[in-house]
Every structure is written in structure tokens, then in C-alpha cells.
Amino acid sequence: MQQLPLDGVKVVDLTNVLAGPYCSYQLMLFGAEVVKVELPGTGDLARRLGPDPELNEARMGASFLAQNAGKKSVELDLKSRDGRAAFESMIAGADVLLENFRAGVLARLGYGWDRLRELNPGLVCCAISGFGQSGPMSGAPAYDQIIQGLSGMMSVTGTPDTAPLRVGFPICDTVGGLMAALAVSAALAGRHRTGRGCYLDLSMLEASISAMGWTVSNYLVSGVEPEPMGDQNATAAPSGTFETADGPLNIAANQQAQFETLCRLVGRPDLPADPRFAGRESRKTHRHELNQELNSALRAKTALEWEEMLAAGGVPAARILTVPQALALDQVRHRGFLTELPFPGAGERQVTVTGNGVMVDGAALRPRGPAPLLGEHNTEIEAAP
């Protein structure tokens, strides 16, 4: 079996829905053993989230299946004597504890950081929350859409006529989960040197603002307040979505050489000599006029024909695909990004889940089994000394 960077690392996962489970899914793909601690009889809320009512009723919602493959599930009531005893035994032997309760909830259950550190001085504890464990908003509830709105993300999504718009997938949950996985990995590396664990306080709001990159830095550094620009890139032109004979095409000719190559390949070698389009800043100023000229030329061929021609010439360009089309790309299949697993429990049904885009020593990271049934591994906890 392939040796993975986090083989031997044990994660106790108290999280539910997306940000936390997405974090522990990444850790699992890198080799960690993840044990989900779920409320007896109920489990992770994501078990009932998805487009298939039958799966939701069976506590195997699509959202749960997607983010929890390869994990174990135990049912514990942290308010009961037996549940607390089992939980403390698990913490004593764990490397990582993940939780995404509201700020202060775990401490009120009797498991603040001081108590957790007593149980296991080497423990890395990561608390994922909407706003962090401190500050005036720390106790407020937060889901992905709330963070999208508060971060400024929605204000720059869409056009001036349609903004604010929600990004079409739970990006703040995803970013929060990725940042948590990075923080946990860094803490484990630090513990290797010092032998001491640490407490990680992750704010999804702050992680999301950080992930907005130049949208935020343009304001902080240059004082330019970002505005919604639809499918156009504020940092360069031509860079955005263009029209072809059969549908839209993304082009990002962000460098002068790429712009000149683009103009030559679309049959408009005269455009770089036009004073409006000669330089980077002048192209941004006259973006609308430039886009009109290019759209007229691009309507001569299909999006796929332009994608192949422009990419071969070194100009970043590609069609805009649907999710099914993206998953069917030969490139995605070639790298083993998708894994087909047996459906949890009995039956011949299969379920397909994604990796994370990382290969280790040439092999794609894959879950080692399907998502667990609720309480599937209770007997392992009961049998533990």
C-alpha cells in the first residue's frame, strides 16, 4: 500500500456539514485515520443534505457521501458519563481534534483547551468557526452564504446590474476547510520538533477575505475599491469571456506577447498597432472596444477550435464547461481524480467521489473506503481498553 505523508496520524472529528468535514477529508486523503464522532441516532447534518430524498432519509445524503469517504463513524453523547469517558480515551490517543461548534460550546461541555491539553499535551486542536473564538461576532451563527456576504465576496460577483451574487458553490466553507487542513499540517510539523501540541482558531470570515487575493490587496495597497465586472478580469485585457460561433470562450491574454499572438491567430494583426490597444493600461481603459473587435473575429470558429488553436500558440484559452463536462475531461480521468467506491452498506450500487488534485510520488490520493454508516465503528470504541 502506498505510504502517505499523514499515515499514522489519528484525527478525532467532531465537525459536521462541510467546512470541517472537508478539512478532515483532505487529511484522510493524505493518510490520516479520521474518526467522526456523531450524535447518537442523528449524526452529521450532511447525512440529510442532497438532491435525493431517499438517500437523505437513509442518512446517506450526497453531501455526506462526498466529504466523508474513508472515515470511521462512532456515536457518542458528550453529555453522558459513558460518552465522555469514551471521548476522553479517544483524545488521549489522538493527534488531532477538529471541531466546528459555535465559539465556546466545546468549553461549556467541559472540554476547553486547558482540559484537552491535560488529556493530551501533544494534541493539535483546530476550532473552525464563522468568525473565530474571540471578538464581538464570535458567538454569531454563520453558514457559507453569510460569510460570502460579510467578506465582500458577493459584492464583486456578477455585473454592476446583477451584483451582489452568491458564488455558485459553498466557497467559504471550502476555503475554510482547506485553510484548516493547512494549519493542522503545519501544527503537526511543528509538534515533530517540539513535542507540544497547539490550539488553532480558524475564522472562515478571515480565511475567505484572505483568499480573495488581489480584490482585497488592490484596495489595501492602492486604495481602489473593487467593483463587480462580471466575466472580465480587472487586472488585464483582453481577459474574460468572449463569443464564438457556438458558445463562450475564456481567454486570458495577460501578457503582451500573448495579446499579439492572439491578434495574429484570430486574423487581426492590426490591433496591437492601434494606440487604444498598444499597451497594457490602454487596453484596460478601452476594454469594451477591444472586446467588440475580438468578438467579431472569434465568431468565425467554434469554441473548441479556438481553444485548440490558441492553446497551441501559447495563449491561455478554454471553453466554459458544465460540471458533467468538466468531470468527463480526459485530463481529469487521466490523473485518477475520481474514485468509484461501493455504496455504504449492502448492494451493488456504486458512488463516485473526488480527490483533491494532489499526487504523491506519482499516485493520486484516494479514499480507502466509502463513507461510514452512522455508528458503523461503535464496536471498535467499545472494544478499546
Cell of 214: 488581489
User: Residue 266: phi, psi to the nearest 5?
Assistant: -90, 5
| Contact between residue 144 and residue 173 where contact means Cβ atoms under 8 Å apart | yes
- Measuring CA to CA, how many Å separate 237 from each of 12, 82, 273? 48, 63, 15
- Cα-Cα-Cα-Cα torsion 160, 175, 216, 185, nearest 10 degrees, comes to -170
DSSP 8-class letter at 353: E
- Cα-Cα-Cα-Cα torsion 201, 205, 208, 213, nearest 10 degrees, comes to -100
Q: Which residues are part of the catalytic machinery? A: 173
| Cα(319)–Cα(313) distance, integer angstroms | 16
Q: Is the peptide bond before 226 cis (omega within 30 degrees of 0)?
A: no
Tell me the sheet residues that pair with 242: 249
CB atoms within 10 A of CB 371: 28
In the three-class reduction of DSSP (H, G, I as helix; E, B as strand; rest coil), residue 117 is classed as helix
| Cα(365)–Cα(109) distance, integer angstroms | 36
DSSP letter string over 58-115? TT--HHHHHH-TT-EEEE--TTSHHHHHHHHHHHHT-SEEEE-SSTTHHHHTT--HHH
In the three-class reduction of DSSP (H, G, I as helix; E, B as strand; rest coil), residue 226 is classed as coil
- Measuring CA to CA, how many Å separate 306 from each of 130, 265, 366? 43, 9, 34
Beta strands in the chain (DSSP E): 10-13, 33-38, 72-75, 96-99, 124-129, 198-203, 239-243, 248-252, 317-319, 338-342, 350-354, 359-360, 363-364
Q: Is the peptide bond before 370 cis (omega within 30 degrees of 0)?
A: no
| Cα(276)–Cα(286) distance, integer angstroms | 6
